[in-house]
Each structure stands twice: as C-alpha cells, then as structure tokens.
Chains A and B, each alone.
Chain A
Amino acid sequence: MTFTSPLFLVFLIFAVSINYALPQRFRHLFLILCSFVFIGFYNIESLLAVLVFSLFNFFLAQSVKGNRFLFLVGLFVNAGAILLFNYFNTATNGFVFTFSSIHFNLDCFIIALGLSFYSLQNIAFLTEVYYERIKTENSLYNFILYTSFFPKVISGPVMLPAEFFPQINRNSITKTELTIGFQRFLTGLFKKMVIADRLAPAVSSVYDYPTSYSGMTVLAATYLFTIQLYFDFSGYTDMALGIAKMLGYDLKENFDTPLRSTSVSEFWRRWHISLISWFTQYIYYPVVYKLRSFKKTAALVGILFTFFVSGIWHGIGLTFTLWALCHAVYLSFELFTKGIRVKLSERLSGIGYKLISAFIVFNAICFSNIFFRAASAEKAFALIRSVFTSFVPQQWLSGFIAPLAIGGHQADEFNLYISVFLFSVFLLFENRLNKMAKSAHYRIPYIVILLMLIMLFGVFANGARFIYMQF
C-alpha cells in the first residue's frame, strides 16, 4: 500500500474524514489505529517489530535520564534494529543475510518497511531524554504516535521529539488546511507519477546495459537519474506532508530547491534536510565536539565518520560506500578551500559565480549518484568509462533518443520531450509555483491543473515503489 496505490487513496479518504469528524481528544488514538493498519497491511512482522521496539524504547526512556549504561543499551538495540530491518530478508527463505548492495524494486525485501527511519526517531528520543534536553514522555500513546505516525513511518521526514510532541491533539483542522494538504498531496503525486515514473525506465534502459551506449547517452541518463531521484523523493515528501496536514500535523520540510546549490555543503542543507540534520546533531557534532582541539582535523574526521555511517545506513555494499566516499571527499575539499571560495565569490560577479558553482555542484552530485543507482560497483565504473569513450552517439535515433524514450517511435520521442519540458518548467520555476499554490486565489485552479496533468501524463502502475522506501 504505497502512497500512489488506489487502495491507499481509499484508506486515506477514510482516515481523513473520520479524523476530521472525531472530537480532538480522540484523534491521536484513531491515528495510532490507522498507523497500525497501515504498517500491518505490509506485513504483520513489521507491525510486531513496531510494537516491540516502541514498548522497549518507551520504558527505557523512563529511566534513561543521566544513566549512561541504559543509554548505551538503547543505542545498541536501536542501531541493531536498523541493521536488522535493512539487511534481513525474511520474505523468501526465512532469514537470509544479504550483504550485497540493495537492488531497486526488490520485492523480496519485507522491508520491515523503512523502519530504519522509525529507529532514528527512537534514538533521537532517547538521546534528548538522556541529555535532559526534553522531559520523558509519560503517555505511551503519544510516544507511539510520534514514532509510528503513518505519513512519515516509511521514509520520513525524520521528526525530532520537540518538533512533534507539542502538536499532538493541539492542531485544529480547518477546511483551508484540508485544501492545502490535499493540494500538497497532489503536487507529490504529480512529481511521482508524471515526472519520476516517466524518467525511471529511461534511466533503467541505460543503467542496465552500461557498455551499450555512447558517452552522451550515459551522461544524459545520469543527469536524468538525479532529477528522477529528486522528483521521486521530494514528491514522496510532498505527499507525506500533505497527508499529515489533512490530519492536523505539520511535518518538517525535507527539500529546499537542492539542485540549485552552489556548494556541496549547501546541497546537504537543502537535500533530505530532516535526515542530514539528524546525522549532524547525533553523529557529526558529538564526534567533532570530542575532537575540537584538533581544529580542522576534527571537522574532517567528523565528515568522514558521518558519511561512513550514512553509507551504511543507506545499505551495506561497495556502491553505497563509494557514494559516501564521494561526498566525504567533496566536503573535505570544501572545508579546506572555504576561505578561498568566499574571497572568490566576493571578487567575481554574483550571478556568474553562482551559475558556475551550481553547474559544478550539480555534476558532482550526479557523479556520486552513479554509485547510488548502479546495480554494482563494476557497472558504475563501466558507466563512468563509457562517458569518456566515444562521447557522440553514432546513430542519433537508436543510440540516444530510443534508449531514453524507451522506443524509437515518434510517440515515444514526443513523450520524452514532454517529460523534459515538465521537469524543466518545474525546476526553473519551483519557488514561484509553490508561492502561487499557496495563494488563496490560485489554490483551486492549481488543484484542477495538477489533476489534469496527472490524468493526462501520469504513469498508472498500481502504486510504483518510491526509491527511498528501500532504506
């Protein structure tokens, strides 16, 4: 039951209407019930895991304040849970430990579904209570809702306790909020079904056969993958935020036009914001704080360690390690050249410096994403080699258009142009479109246009999976 499946839409209509009709004091109980149905629908093992780990963390938190031993036990168990959820495969042959890299659209993963996102919130909660930054939560119901709230349980956004608890049973739901939430949900549906799912087969057709195409085709597919990943994941986030809004909750924004970043460190402040702020707060800062007397070396060790953990979190395997290594190298480079770059930006004209930087950063991100997307390290290296050998395709139609358009017919080519046109408009005018969507005047027309675009150009694949569901 992914957010794009018809069954989920029925579930959503049911959940939103009943929640809206219920008196405020009962809503959190109803939402817990909905969350259990949502999780249990995937498989009963996931629901059991959520129940067991929620109870464990709730009761541990009651006495973790200032108790180092219990805190370490909690960290160990939750970190173990992330490894368990990410790497144990229970759907096929009982428990099979898969240390190879994770493939796309792996149906055999039971995914104790994105429960690695769930575990990050348990760790955040225990840490905040241990350091006495928040009081422990006395209500088991509130705690379960915090960790298992269904719009965010699969793939975030990762909410910190202080961001979520104050909202429980406090937010009113007006008709305007229902409209805004619905509109945000549709924006996500549009990004996923009209843009990301149209680009997915184009990327696959090139990435599955890394030695078959010329450099330009591979390069185009590589650019398209980063764009696909952005629309897939930011679309998912829009849907999560929209659903939560309709239920009376404001979840954290996860993206802030990241593909326009002018440095990689800026990119990480604008891409998957909730996850990176979790990593910054609970891994990077504690490490650098301990080593702070070593100045820049401390930051360097912090970066390497954070991306090492981030790589493991995304999946054990050479490809994710190489992806993480790329970013560790980029950020280390930026750490040591920050002074020069700030001076250079002041000397050169603003717009020129920004454009050149954004272009370099976009290419750097795309390069790292080759490892993120490729099925194996060998394939990734083969793709990189392809870019630098025979760049221009010998046959324009069969070597460039056909693989990217998934077919050599005029209709396929037309479809490709439509995709490129739609994502270009969206990428170029994203801020303006978002602003327009929020204004009371355009709210309804915006919904109508989104619905029309989804009907006309959407890929209806009965609930295609989101890329980030595998983590």
Chain B
Amino acid sequence: MLEQLQQVFREVFKDDALIITESTSAKDIKMWDSLTHLELIAAVETAFSIKFTFNEVMMFSNVGEMMALLEKKTKS
C-alpha cells in the first residue's frame, strides 16, 4: 500500500524521487501545504476508489494515519 501511495504522492507533487514513510508529514514535503492538500486527497481517493469524509480529511497528521484509514476503508 505504501508503494502505491508513494506513486500518488509522486504524481501529485511532481517529484519522481520522492520517498515517503509512515511518519512523513506535510512538514517533510515542500510541495505539501493547504493549497495542495485536497488535491492529494482527491488523487488518493481516485487511486484507491474510496471516499474520505470531511472530518477524516481534517484529522490526518501524517502518512501513517492516512494509511490506517485507507486500510480500514479498502477492507470494508
């Protein structure tokens, strides 16, 4: 899942060398801020065919938290 997510991050942030881990947060990626956050969310939703609620979008503080939710959503 991390690899697939990394691919989405690379496409949205236009950086082919970008490496993400579970602890990666907006602080670690220069391109990731409030202007690009929802663009990333939309791309993740398309890639994994799921939908995040507004509350969920506001709660992520790093990649790990996003993955935990993704796992829950893709299983159900």
Contact = CB atoms under 8 A, between A and B. Distances in A.
Interface string A328-368: 00010011001100100100000000000000000000000
B19 interface: no
Interface in A245-286: 265, 280-281, 284-286
A417 B42 CA distance: 54
Contact of A289 (B35, B36, B54): B54
A281 B58 contact: yes
Contact of B39 (A281, A286, A296, A342): A296
Interface of A: 131-133, 265, 280-281, 284-286, 288-289, 292-293, 295-296, 298-299, 302-303, 331, 334-335, 338-339, 342, 345
25 contacts: A132-B55, A133-B55, A265-B35, A284-B34, A285-B34, A285-B54, A285-B57, A285-B58, A289-B38, A289-B54, A292-B41, A293-B42, A295-B39, A296-B39, A298-B39, A298-B42, A299-B36, A299-B38, A299-B39, A302-B38, A303-B35, A335-B35, A338-B31, A338-B36, A342-B30
Contacts of A293: 42
Contact of A280 (B34, B45, B54): B34
Closest 4 CB pairs of A and B: A292-B42, A292-B38, A288-B38, A342-B30
Contacts of B14: 339
A316 to B, nearest CB: 26
A285 B39 CA distance: 11
B35 A131 contact: no
Most chain B Cβ neighbours within 10 Å, of A286, A292, A334: A292
Q: Is the interface of A mostly helix, strand, loop or mixed?
A: helix
Interface string B31-60: 101111011011001000000001101100
Interface of B: 14, 30-31, 33-36, 38-39, 41-42, 45, 54-55, 57-58
Nearest to A263: B33
B38 A265 contact: no
Max count, chain A CB within 10 A of own CB: residue among B35, B39, B54, B55: B35
A302 B33 CA distance: 14
Nearest to A342: B30
Given A295-B42, A296-B39, A299-B38, A289 B57 contact: yes
B39 A292 contact: yes
Given A133-B55, A286-B54, A289-B54, A339 B38 contact: no
Nearest to B43: A295
